[in-house]
Chain A
Amino acid sequence: MTVAEAKKLLKKRKQQDEEAPEKPAFEESVALEMLSEDENDADAQSESDDGEVDAFPEIDPRSDSENEESEKSEDDDDELEEDVEEDSDEDSHPDLQIFPKSKTIVSDITGQPKRVYPEIEPDYDSDSSTEDDPNRVGNVPMHWYDDLPHVGYDINGKRVLRPAQGDELDKFLQTVEDPTAWTSAFDKNAQMDKPLSADELDIIRRLQAGENPDGDYDPYEPTVEWFTGKGKEEIMPLSAAPEPKRRWLPSKWEKQKIMKIVRAIRQGRIVGSKPTNADTKSFYPIWNELPSNQEPPLPAPKPRLPTNSESYNPPAEYLPTDVERKQWENTDPENRERDYLPQKYSALRLVPAYDRFIKERFNRQLDLYLAPRIQRTKLNIDPNSLIPKLPSPSSLKPFPNYNSLKFSHVKGRVRCLSVSPDGAWVVSGDEEGMVSVWEVNVGREIKRWKLDGKIGAIEWCPRTDVSFFVVGTEEKLHFFIPPHLTPSIFNLTHSLLAPATLPPATQSPIKWMSSASSTDGSILTLNLPSSSGLPKQLAWHRKGDYLASVSSSESQGGVWIHQMSRRHSQAPFKKIKGAVQLVLFHPTKPHFFVATQRYVRVYNLAEQKLLKTLMPGIKWISSMDVHPSGDHVIVGGYDRKLCWFDLELSDKPYKILRYHTRAIRSLQFHPTYPLFASSSDDGSIQIFHARVYSDLMTDPLIVPLKILRGHDVKEGLGVLQIKWTNKQPWLVSAGADGNVLVWCS
């Protein structure tokens, strides 16, 4: 190409560019006119348009010949079209043929031969659809053609090429330059902007104004009376039946019903509804008539009246400190002692609203209808009046109240002790097997024996004409004669324990073995049955002839009664319920007390039967003593209880006392004075005054006199045994700390 040609080409392109905005608009307007032409009747303008359309292919080649690059494919189509047109021209001449002749050509899309029919002559008698929009793809998404050069097919299956589209700048220029741009819209099928027709614009205007889009629609057109109105009356009725009477006569039955109501109203049976809620507020003297003699319900308790601390301006001492405030805030509301914190305001105007006012009112109401009420009689007494009035201990002297001397066993706790009947000597035995005899008054030891094994029990014979004591060790009872006896007593004692002529032997499993020669050993030994264990208690009968022993073993036959004069032992019970803890002889009658773990049974030995069972209600009985009169028994237990039984009165205790903090270990009545004492594992000894009256009506008087403290608690054990001296109000106590103390008045 030469430069001149290139210049020419450039010039032409420019020209074309100038024409380009014009051309599509023109084409579009043509197409749209054609569309609108279908709706409207054909007019002269459309005819002229048609002419242009017809002329369009003639104009086109002129312009197309130069811009081949852009519309090459279109050219192909055009050529093809021209070919077909030529064919159809040839075929159209013989009009006689009913079916147009088909032609087989090779399709350039599929490459297959296809039959092509000649074009139908677009006459006026032909289908108007031929004049339609060339693109016949129908209602498919147009983006399917986005990357194709054409935008669809016309009715002949020929491609409709995509119209030329400028860039954004072109579009913008077009909107600026074209005065009709704002009335044009994008046509999807043609893929270009087409100006809207006046009718279409009118429809848009109407839609905007909210009117009916159809301009011809007349909402106020007069009704056309098709079937009614003047001259259109039906001449022939559907039914020939005569008009019934009920159409014009009033109903009899209705009248009757109405008359019934009227009569009822007249007679006052039906009263019109009066205005309600008229008399709800009326009050009248309700309390004028006499009240029924039914008792009125108890009034609800009134809330407590406010105290000084609730004042808005209380004295300063009522105000809580920071600690108290914090404590109040940390406690739960239901646990607080009072439901508010005292506060002080300098003036009444500064007092704020109380935030829990409604809540408190509500709580009060909950109390009123949900809280159970109990009527309590308020006890307005001095609490000290509840303490029983008892005679002063100072008026009940003498009783032991101070510790006069101490006798120590160096090793081992002192389990048991006994005081001689004349009250001058004490014999005590410890767990190491040491038995000591010492004087009460000065505490001088005069003799000691060493036995093998623990000492379980020691008991001095109550006889005054003889003097000896019994010591219980493992499965053995040893009889000892204390030193420094007058010869007559010693001789008598010796002859009793080791008689020259033995009484006739009896059948008994227990052997009495006297050894007359030994002066510092035991003079008489009883071998208890084997595996009977340590005798834990020995009890003499008042006359000193019988001795009862209780062994610690749980097996049968723990209880033995030994008769000194006959040197005979026997088991009084073949079988006994429970483990025997203690036994006692009644001081005056031939009765025998046996304490098992929970009960005390009283047997008549003469008649050999059970008299009664005392029920102290103690879990484990530890100690028991009987009053010198024989009518009262005290029982102590490991569960700290002390029960006083009046044997005449009942099987149940007359009085239960619980004052020791630990288990009771030992109890004893004084033989002559009205005293008794109890010792406990808490290391204390409690002295009581216990006066028993001879008439049955007066209750025994029990007065606590003194608490004696002097023993130490060792390994949980305190005072293990206490004994009174016979003649004086003196007490001797043996403790687990290895000391034996004498308490004097």
Chain B
Amino acid sequence: MGRLKQKGKAGAAKAYVTRSSAVKRLQCSLADFRRLCILKGIFPREPRNKKKANKGSTAPTSFYYAKDIAYLAHEPVLKKLREHKAFAKKISRALGRGEWSIAKNLEETKPTYRLDHIIKERYPTFVDAVRDIDDALCMIFLFASLPSNLRVSSSLIANCARLAAEWQLYIMHSQSLRKVFFSIKGIYYQAEVVGQSVTWLVPYQFTQNIPSDVDVRVMLTFLELYQTLLGFTFFKLYTDAGLVYPPPLDTSKDESGAGVGAFSLQETESTVPLSTPKTKNSVKTISSKEVRQTIKNIAANSAAVDPEPDMDVDYENEDPRGLDEEFVAQPSATEPNAVATLPTLHLLSSIPQTTSMKLFAPYAFFLSRESSRAIFEFLVRSFGGRIGWPASLGSGSPLQETDDSITHVIIDRPVTKKPNETVEERDRRLRRKYVQPQWIADCINAGKILLEDHYAQGKTLPPHLSPFGEREGAYDPMIGPTNQDAVDGEEDVMDSEQDDEDIPTPELAELGPGVNLADDPDALRAVELAAEVAGMDYTEFEKEIKKSQTKPKPSEAQTKDDGEQDMNKMLMSNKQRKLYERMKHGERKRAAEHAKLEQKRQHIEKEQRRKT
């Protein structure tokens, strides 16, 4: 027998500390502790056994790793927070005594902290940082649209707006936007940056008000971290793309509401050692760029917007329209450099998409005034298109409404007849295609230009589906019989496929044991479940059902099998049985959801058929 073990000296009791004891150990306030946890990314842990971790108590508490807390104790930010506490005391004393000059001196030497080291710690590599900027982008875009008040200063909002614009500029420049989804919560964008897919959500352009049950302090602390993170990330992205960071802001344009156009992208000088290979590349690509540019211009038949053929590295004198053209032309040259990592499988799968990167290149768009400029300027320019807007949506429009090169008008209002239309206007109207905004998103998600007819002004739009897909085996509204005739026509083709599929699932061929499945919903349900268990696709299942209804094969093998399986469940261990039940429960729930959607759809279709 070894030495007696003392209680609470080893194991979980030592590895975990409760939050209150952590605060006590760090000698800081709870608010400071919270702030530190947010900045350092330290979160509570769930001990395997709460009783062991909390000295036998089972009271609900949150536990942290003792090592995390020990690590926090040496945090420079914690030191700064303590200094700030002392500073706050000093300045309140000076102000209380009316010693203004002392207060001013103190204010000048106010302790501030930087988060660089935290960024480096939390994200040791650049890829780590890019992987984790989703939340940061959401927050930045949210705060960029908030009104300023006492708690949220206007400078903070301006900084958020600047970061948001920088991100959009980079995405447009690198043409890395992949998917867009108009949801009821806002607009989801997905871009592929450094091989990582980054998804962010932008609220619609309405004034948001911070609800009272939201702790603004927490949000601001997060925002503090996110601003720093995004600053460093954008710096790296811009410099890797051979651009100057931060991009210079033209204040006069900004004031006139140019939005993203107020920033101008500058290429770096070749003296920067970092981007030496890049600048070489860009020098090389200038000729090819020009060639492509001219080809594109010929294709677009737009002589009006011809950028200067001899472009210097400095684009400052150029008009923003020319700059936009520039973004379109060169991404392929810079993108491979930006992606420094090895080509992952994910990356390789995205390569075929590059053809769709210049989806809108041959087209020029014009926004009608009710559609949001911020959204569509970003979308169209990310895919190489040109876009103009009326002056009511802000200045700096590269295209005027009367421009002949405009091919599409994005319009979001019902059709109205114009009483007195000049011939010219009528001509223009007939030449252009009027599409609803959803067309842009659906084209981007489909990776090809869709027929404009379904999206024409005033038409009922086809449903807008999530490009991110549902989970495996979920209900897919695109598959299945949209109308009965089409299915009947396809039956022959399906049957030929069916023969191949019969081989792996022989027991499914004998699904309906003499029961008329169409009449008996319970039986149908059971069979459906069985099919689900067998991992069968729903469409196949439906075909099977149809088949079985045409030629019912009476056999009891299936039910027998079920009985055997039920009996074999006796020999499962308790743990396995519980796991099995859980999985089955989930399966049943998903199947029920699926069936419900299907049923609703059939109901709706029936209603429609009755109407017509």
A residues near B (Cβ < 8 Å) are 273, 276-277, 280-281, 283-288, 291-292, 294, 296-297, 299-300, 302-303, 305-308, 310-318, 321, 340, 342-343, 345-349, 351-354, 357-362, 364-366, 368-374, 379, 382-384, 386-390, 392-393, 655, 657-659, 702, 704-705, 707
**Is B466 a contact of A308 with CB atoms below 8 Å?**
yes
Q: Given the complex of chains A and B, what is the CA–CA distance between A286 and B465 in angstroms?
A: 40
Interchain nearest-CB distance for A652 vs B (Å): 14
Interchain nearest-CB distance for A490 vs B (Å): 46
Q: Given the complex of chains A and B, what is the CA–CA distance between A38 and B62 in angstroms?
A: 91
**With A300-B132, A353-B208 as contacts: A313 and B438 at CB distance below 8 Å:** yes
- Collect the chain A residues with CB atoms within 8 Å of residue B580's CB: 383, 386-387
Interchain nearest-CB distance for B53 vs A (Å): 12
Q: Which of A308, A317, A369 contacts B465 (CB 8 A)?
A: A308
Interchain nearest-CB distance for B232 vs A (Å): 5
Q: Given the complex of chains A and B, what is the CA–CA distance between A369 and B217 in angstroms?
A: 13
**With A353-B203, A370-B62, A372-B46 as contacts: A297 and B181 at CB distance below 8 Å:** no
- Collect the chain B residues with CB atoms within 8 Å of residue A284's CB: 235
**Is A361 a contact of B112 with CB atoms below 8 Å?**
no
**With A348-B438, A362-B215, A368-B135 as contacts: A313 and B185 at CB distance below 8 Å:** no
- Collect the chain B residues with CB atoms within 8 Å of residue A370's CB: 43-44, 62
- Collect the chain A residues with CB atoms within 8 Å of residue B44's CB: 370-372
- Collect the chain B residues with CB atoms within 8 Å of residue A353's CB: 203-204, 206-208
- Collect the chain B residues with CB atoms within 8 Å of residue A277's CB: 112
Besides the known contacts A317-B597, A348-B436, 10 further A-B residue pairs in the complex with CB atoms under 8 A apart: A299-B128, A300-B132, A315-B601, A316-B601, A353-B206, A364-B135, A373-B43, A386-B583, A387-B565, A390-B568
**With A286-B120, A359-B214, A383-B580 as contacts: A312 and B184 at CB distance below 8 Å:** yes
- Collect the chain B residues with CB atoms within 8 Å of residue A384's CB: 533, 565
- Collect the chain B residues with CB atoms within 8 Å of residue A343's CB: 184
Q: Which residue of A lies closest to B583 (CB)?
A: A383
Q: Does B100 contact A (CB under 8 A)?
A: no
Interface-side segment among B400-408, B418-426, B488-496, B570-578? B570-578
Interchain nearest-CB distance for A305 vs B (Å): 4
**Is A307 a contact of B466 with CB atoms below 8 Å?**
yes
Q: Given the complex of chains A and B, what is the CA–CA distance between A283 and B583 in angstroms?
A: 50
Interchain nearest-CB distance for B534 vs A (Å): 9
Contact flags B129-151 to A (C-beta < 8 A → 1, else 0)? 10110110011001000000000
- Collect the chain A residues with CB atoms within 8 Å of residue B116's CB: 286
- Collect the chain A residues with CB atoms within 8 Å of residue B437's CB: 348
- Collect the chain B residues with CB atoms within 8 Å of residue A373's CB: 43, 45
Q: What would be 8 A-B contacts, judged by CB atoms less than 8 Å apart?
A: A287-B123, A306-B188, A340-B184, A352-B204, A369-B41, A388-B571, A658-B570, A705-B567
Q: Does B535 contact A (CB under 8 A)?
A: yes
Q: Which of A285, A358, A393 contacts B235 (CB 8 A)?
A: A285
Give residues 147-179 of B contacting A (CB, 8 Å).
none
**Is A354 a contact of B134 with CB atoms below 8 Å?**
no
Best-surrounded residue of A305, A392, A702 (most CB of chain B within 10 A):
A305
**Is B210 a contact of A358 with CB atoms below 8 Å?**
yes
Interchain nearest-CB distance for A718 vs B (Å): 18
Q: Given the complex of chains A and B, what is the CA–CA distance between A317 and B576 in angstroms?
A: 37
Q: Which residue of B lies closest to A324 (CB)?
A: B596
**Is A390 a contact of B571 with CB atoms below 8 Å?**
yes
**Is B470 a contact of A307 with CB atoms below 8 Å?**
yes
- Collect the chain B residues with CB atoms within 8 Å of residue A348's CB: 182, 371, 412, 436-438
- Collect the chain A residues with CB atoms within 8 Å of residue B576's CB: 386
Q: Given the complex of chains A and B, what is the CA–CA distance between A582 and B408 in angstroms?
A: 92
Q: Does B183 contact A (CB under 8 A)?
A: yes
- Collect the chain B residues with CB atoms within 8 Å of residue A704's CB: 567-568, 570-571
Interchain nearest-CB distance for A520 vs B (Å): 47
**Is B46 a contact of A346 with CB atoms below 8 Å?**
no
Q: Which of A294, A311, A357, A365 contacts B219 (CB 8 A)?
A: A365
Q: Does B236 contact A (CB under 8 A)?
A: yes
**Is A357 a contact of B199 with CB atoms below 8 Å?**
no
A-B pairs with beta carbons under 8 A, tally: 250
Interface-side segment among B73-81, B304-312, B456-464, B542-550? B456-464
- Collect the chain A residues with CB atoms within 8 Å of residue B123's CB: 287, 296
**Is A297 a contact of B46 with CB atoms below 8 Å?**
no
**Is A349 a contact of B465 with CB atoms below 8 Å?**
no
- Collect the chain A residues with CB atoms within 8 Å of residue B181's CB: 306, 310-311
**Is B371 a contact of A349 with CB atoms below 8 Å?**
yes
Q: Which residue of A lies closest to B44 (CB)?
A: A372
Q: Which residue of B lies closest to A291 (CB)?
A: B124
- Collect the chain A residues with CB atoms within 8 Å of residue B120's CB: 286-287
Q: Given the complex of chains A and B, what is the CA–CA distance between A702 and B572 in angstroms?
A: 12
**With A273-B108, A317-B601, A348-B436 as contacts: A354 and B231 at CB distance below 8 Å:** no
Interchain nearest-CB distance for B353 vs A (Å): 18
Q: Given the complex of chains A and B, what is the CA–CA distance between A343 and B183 in angstroms?
A: 10
Q: Does B211 contact A (CB under 8 A)?
A: yes
Q: Does B584 contact A (CB under 8 A)?
A: yes
Q: Which residue of A lies closest to B190 (CB)?
A: A305
Q: Does B604 contact A (CB under 8 A)?
A: yes
- Collect the chain B residues with CB atoms within 8 Å of residue A291's CB: 124-125
Q: Which residue of A lies closest to B472 (CB)?
A: A380
**Is B134 a contact of A302 with CB atoms below 8 Å?**
yes
- Collect the chain B residues with CB atoms within 8 Å of residue A702's CB: 571
Q: Given the complex of chains A and B, what is the CA–CA distance between A599 and B417 in angstroms?
A: 94
**Is A288 a contact of B185 with CB atoms below 8 Å?**
no
- Collect the chain A residues with CB atoms within 8 Å of residue B124's CB: 291-292, 294, 296
**Is A659 a contact of B570 with CB atoms below 8 Å?**
yes
Interchain nearest-CB distance for A282 vs B (Å): 9
Best-surrounded residue of B37, B129, B564, B565 (most CB of chain A within 10 A):
B564
Q: Does B279 contact A (CB under 8 A)?
A: no
Q: Which residue of B lies closest to A309 (CB)?
A: B466
Q: Given the complex of chains A and B, what is the CA–CA distance between A379 and B583 in angstroms?
A: 10
Q: Which of A286, A299, A383 contacts B131 (CB 8 A)?
A: A299
Q: Given the complex of chains A and B, what is the CA–CA distance between A384 and B562 in angstroms?
A: 11
Q: Which residue of A lies closest to B593 (CB)?
A: A337
Q: Given the complex of chains A and B, what is the CA–CA distance between A365 and B220 in angstroms?
A: 11
Q: Which residue of A lies closest to B183 (CB)?
A: A310
**Is B206 a contact of A276 with CB atoms below 8 Å?**
no
**Is A359 a contact of B211 with CB atoms below 8 Å?**
yes
**Is B199 a contact of A302 with CB atoms below 8 Å?**
yes
Interchain nearest-CB distance for B482 vs A (Å): 10
**Is A305 a contact of B466 with CB atoms below 8 Å?**
yes
- Collect the chain B residues with CB atoms within 8 Å of residue A369's CB: 34, 37-38, 41-43, 218
- Collect the chain A residues with CB atoms within 8 Å of residue B587's CB: 383
Q: Which of B114, B460, B469 contacts A280 (CB 8 A)?
A: B114
- Collect the chain A residues with CB atoms within 8 Å of residue B206's CB: 352-353
Interchain nearest-CB distance for A664 vs B (Å): 13
Q: Given the complex of chains A and B, what is the CA–CA distance between A359 and B132 in angstroms?
A: 21
**Is A358 a contact of B208 with CB atoms below 8 Å?**
yes
Q: Which of B41, B215, B601 contacts A297 (CB 8 A)?
A: B41
Q: Given the complex of chains A and B, what is the CA–CA distance between A280 and B159 in angstroms?
A: 13
- Collect the chain A residues with CB atoms within 8 Å of residue B63's CB: 372
Q: Does B579 contact A (CB under 8 A)?
A: yes
Q: Which of A303, A315, A364, A366 contacts B463 (CB 8 A)?
A: A315
Q: Given the complex of chains A and B, what is the CA–CA distance between A365 and B143 in angstroms?
A: 14
Interchain nearest-CB distance for A682 vs B (Å): 14
**Is A351 a contact of B182 with CB atoms below 8 Å?**
yes
- Collect the chain A residues with CB atoms within 8 Å of residue B87's CB: none
Q: Does B25 contact A (CB under 8 A)?
A: no
Contact flags B266-298 to A (C-beta < 8 A → 1, else 0)? 000000001000000000000000000000000
**Is B186 a contact of A357 with CB atoms below 8 Å?**
yes
**Is B222 a contact of A365 with CB atoms below 8 Å?**
yes
Q: Which of A281, A362, A368 contacts B214 (CB 8 A)?
A: A362
Q: Given the complex of chains A and B, what is the CA–CA distance between A282 and B28 in angstroms?
A: 29
**With A276-B112, A287-B126, A383-B584 as contacts: A306 and B185 at CB distance below 8 Å:** yes
- Collect the chain B residues with CB atoms within 8 Å of residue A351's CB: 182, 184, 204
Q: Given the complex of chains A and B, what is the CA–CA distance between A359 and B219 in angstroms?
A: 11
- Collect the chain B residues with CB atoms within 8 Å of residue A360's CB: 185
